[in-house]
């Protein structure tokens, strides 16, 4: 077996382990989805159609909800290892790259599930004026993936510090800002008849570029965060 | 606001910020060095 | 830094300031041509902000490679100085905005991005405050600084270019963007600020080292006390 597929296999094992644990306890998913649904319902109640709120406000609000829901749950993957004291065993058994890629995959899937469950609900409850459906799906997909990429290494940092809950929000906000701003911009473009793909192509490029930068950067520093 | 005031005040602000910080650092350093001296003597 | 250098720096900055008000002609194309002089003071602060945050990332990287506490101290100081210049750039910028665009705050992309930037490094200081153990604090904050670095580059270089901005782009480094007199004065002030930056950096480092020495001494005194002294 070559070295490169060594970490891939490890990552797969970590991912499978986390998924199994999540299916059994449903803590992260429960936290994330309940947070999102609660805020969507609250927002829908407050901004119901006669209120006449503009589309760009709704686009910004959608991403604020997704981001804060992510903050509620994405740190779980690392915090749970420190709390149950399984981190040391994991450090011995699996290479840092394997751990990071596995955790990143788990968080990414968590974000996709979150978006699949809450975004349709948001669109219905707030009567969002989606015009370019294809673009909207692409931006949501890329945006949620980028958020997972940006916050996974921060989750590893937070798991080592005190006051984890509060700290994760504070620390992940700056790192997640670029994809957040761009995703809002792209979503607005998808909701306006006169914008569409042409207006959002820069956003898509930046989202992809951001992931191509932040994932290697995370891999580079993760080793130093993870090993004691 | 009087435009004259606006552009006269900018360099002053930059100076105030920078030299305020420098002065504060200098005072702090003097205080620390004094304390180190005192403790060394004890 | 020698006293001569400090005095020369002071004279230099004073000379450039005087030149900015007397020698520099008012610039055309501004709502108030006289107010263009603010640019001379505003832009160098913004450039230094970027340089300081760059230094923060470099020293953080150095720390992770060498695990030398000095590199961690230098990273922290760079972030602090970056914050200082960010505040100065914001204040002078909003004075200029009041003159030029009629309101001190316009949510222009560059205004937005400098606020976001201050949030990034405020979070860095919060992280440093929340970890007790020294080597762990250095390790985690260095890792965070390197993660925040791409966000910083995005906010300064990319974000203002994809969103409509009131600020000009590409004037600073292109040949035709800036009137020669303005270019000379602006970079002259910048040179003075760089000298002050080095001065501040060294002074702050001495404060840091003195604090560390004091802490060390306290620590060794505590260890000498008998263990059962406290009830």
Give the residue from chain C lying closest to A203, CA to CA.
C162
Min Cα distance B38 → chain C (Å) is 11
Q: Do B32 and C214 touch (CB under 8 A)?
A: yes
User: CB contact, 8 Å: A189 with chain C?
Assistant: no
pTM for the model: 0.85
Chain A positions in Cβ-Cβ contact with residue C136 (cut-off 8 Å): 160
Min Cα distance C46 → chain A (Å) is 19
Distance CA A152, CA A154 (A): 5
Average pLDDT over residues A122-151: 89
- For residue C41, give the nearest of B11, B21, B26 by CB distance: B11
Min Cα distance A163 → chain C (Å) is 8
User: CB contact, 8 Å: A211 with chain C?
Assistant: no
Question: Could you give the C-alpha distances from A166 to A79, C91, C114, in angstroms and in order?
Answer: 13, 30, 24
Q: How high does pLDDT run on average in chain A?
A: 86
Phi, psi (rounded to 5 degrees) for C32: -125, 100
User: CB contact, 8 Å: B30 with chain C?
Assistant: no
Q: Do A217 and C123 touch (CB under 8 A)?
A: no
Sorting pLDDT into bands at 50, 70 and 90, what band is C146?
very high
Chains C and B touch (3+ CB pairs under 8 A): yes
Lowest mean pLDDT among A28-32, A136-140, C180-184: C180-184
Chains that touch B (3 or more CB pairs under 8 A): C
Cβ contacts of A43 within 8 Å, gap of 6 or more: A61, A65, A122, A125, A126
Chains that touch A (3 or more CB pairs under 8 A): C
Tokens representing C143? 């890792």
Query: What is the 3 state secondary structure string of C188-213?
Result: HHHHHHHHHHHHHHHHHHHHHHHHHH
User: CB contact, 8 Å: A141 with chain C?
Assistant: no
Distance CA C203, CA A159 (A): 35
Min Cα distance A167 → chain C (Å) is 7
Q: Residues A147, A176: contact at Cβ < 8 Å?
A: yes
Chain C positions in Cβ-Cβ contact with residue B7 (cut-off 8 Å): 34-35, 37-38, 95, 99
Q: Do C87 and B28 touch (CB under 8 A)?
A: no
**pLDDT score of C231:** 44
**pLDDT score of C83:** 93
Q: Do A154 and C147 touch (CB under 8 A)?
A: yes
Sorting pLDDT into bands at 50, 70 and 90, what band is C222?
low
Give the residue from chain C lying closest to B37, CA to CA.
C214
Chain A positions in Cβ-Cβ contact with residue C159 (cut-off 8 Å): 178, 181
Sorting pLDDT into bands at 50, 70 and 90, what band is A63?
very high
This complex has an ipTM of 0.86
DSSP state of C24: S
Tokens representing C30? 């501004």
Min Cα distance B37 → chain C (Å) is 10
What are the residue ranges of helices labelled H in C26-133? 38-66, 69-100, 109-130
**pLDDT score of C63:** 94
Probe site for chain C from A67, A148, A161 (most C CB atoms < 10 A):
A161
Dihedral Cα A190, A193, A195, A201, nearest 10 deg:
40
Give the residue from chain C lying closest to B14, CA to CA.
C88
Query: Does the structure show a pLDDT above 70 at C152?
Result: yes
Chain C positions in Cβ-Cβ contact with residue A168 (cut-off 8 Å): none
Tokens representing C34? 């006289």
* pLDDT (tens digit per residue) in C14-73: 888 777 777 776 666 666 666 677 777 788 888 899 999 999 999 999 999 999 999 999
For the domain with range C3-165+181-211, which CATH number is right: 1.10.8, 3.40.50, 1.20.120, 2.170.270? 1.20.120
What one-character-per-residue DSSP string does B1-42 give? --HHHHHHHHHHHHHHHHHHHHHHHHHHHHHHHHHHHHHHH-
User: CB contact, 8 Å: B25 with chain C?
Assistant: yes
Buried b (16+ CB within 10 A) or exposed e, A18-46: beebbeeeeebbebbbebbbebbeebbee
User: CB contact, 8 Å: A14 with chain C?
Assistant: no
Its sign, for the CA torsion C77, C79, C83, C89, is positive
* pLDDT (tens digit per residue) in C75-117: 999 999 999 999 988 888 887 777 777 777 777 777 888 888 8
Min Cα distance C201 → chain B (Å) is 10
What one-character-per-residue DSSP string does A60-74 give? HHHHHHHHHHHHHHT
Sorting pLDDT into bands at 50, 70 and 90, what band is C173?
low
Min Cα distance A102 → chain C (Å) is 19
**pLDDT score of A178:** 87
């Amino acid at each position: 077996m070559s070295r490169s597929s060594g970490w891939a296999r490890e990552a797969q094992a970590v991912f499978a382990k986390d998924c199994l644990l999540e299916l059994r306890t449903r803590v992260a998913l429960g936290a994330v989805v309940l947070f999102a649904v609660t805020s969507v319902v609250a927002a829908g109640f407050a901004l119901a159609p006669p209120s006449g709120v503009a589309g760009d406000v709704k686009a910004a609000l959608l991403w604020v909800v997704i981001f804060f829901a992510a903050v509620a749950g994405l740190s779980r993957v690392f915090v749970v290892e420190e709390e149950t004291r399984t981190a040391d065993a994991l450090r011995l058994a699996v290479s840092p790259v394997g751990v990071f890629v596995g955790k990143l995959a788990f968080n990414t899937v968590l974000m996709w599930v979150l978006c699949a469950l809450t975004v349709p609900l948001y669109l219905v409850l707030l009567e969002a004026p989606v015009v370019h459906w294809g673009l909207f799906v692409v931006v949501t997909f890329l945006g949620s993936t980028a958020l997972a990429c940006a916050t996974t290494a921060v989750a590893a940092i937070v798991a080592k510090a005190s006051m984890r809950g509060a700290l994760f929000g504070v620390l992940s906000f700056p790192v997640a800002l670029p994809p957040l701003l761009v995703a809002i911009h792209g979503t607005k473009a998808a909701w306006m008849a006169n914008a569409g793909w042409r207006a959002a192509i820069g956003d898509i490029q930046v989202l992809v570029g951001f992931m191509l930068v932040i994932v290697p950067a995370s891999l580079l520093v993760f080793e130093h965060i993870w090993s004691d | 606001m009087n435009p004259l005031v606006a552009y006269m005040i900018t360099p002053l602000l930059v100076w105030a910020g920078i030299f305020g910080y420098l002065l504060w650092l200098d005072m702090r350093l003097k205080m620390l060095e004094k304390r180190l001296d005192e403790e060394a003597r004890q | 830094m020698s006293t001569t250098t400090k005095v020369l720096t002071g004279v230099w900055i004073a000379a450039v300031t005087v030149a900015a008000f007397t020698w520099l002609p008012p610039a055309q194309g501004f709502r108030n041509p006289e107010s263009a002089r603010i640019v001379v003071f505003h832009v160098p602060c913004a450039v230094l902000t970027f340089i300081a945050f760059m230094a923060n990332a470099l020293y953080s990287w150095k720390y992770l490679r060498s695990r030398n506490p000095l590199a961690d101290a230098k990273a922290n100081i760079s972030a602090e100085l970056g914050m200082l210049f960010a505040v100065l750039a914001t204040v002078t910028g909003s004075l200029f905005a009041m003159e030029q665009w009629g309101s001190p705050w316009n949510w222009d992309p560059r205004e937005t991005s400098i606020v976001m930037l201050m949030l990034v490094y405020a979070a860095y200081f919060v992280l440093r405050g929340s970890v007790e153990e020294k080597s762990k604090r250095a390790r985690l904050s260095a890792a965070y600084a390197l993660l925040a670095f791409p966000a910083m580059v995005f906010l300064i270089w990319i974000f203002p270019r994809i969103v409509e901005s009131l600020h000009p782009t590409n004037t600073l480094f292109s040949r035709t963007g800036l009137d020669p007199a303005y270019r000379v004065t602006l970079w002259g002030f910048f040179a003075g600020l760089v000298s002050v930056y080095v001065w501040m950096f060294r002074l702050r480092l001495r404060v840091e080292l003195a604090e560390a020495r004091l802490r060390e001494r306290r620590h060794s005194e505590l260890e000498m006390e008998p263990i059962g002294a406290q009830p």
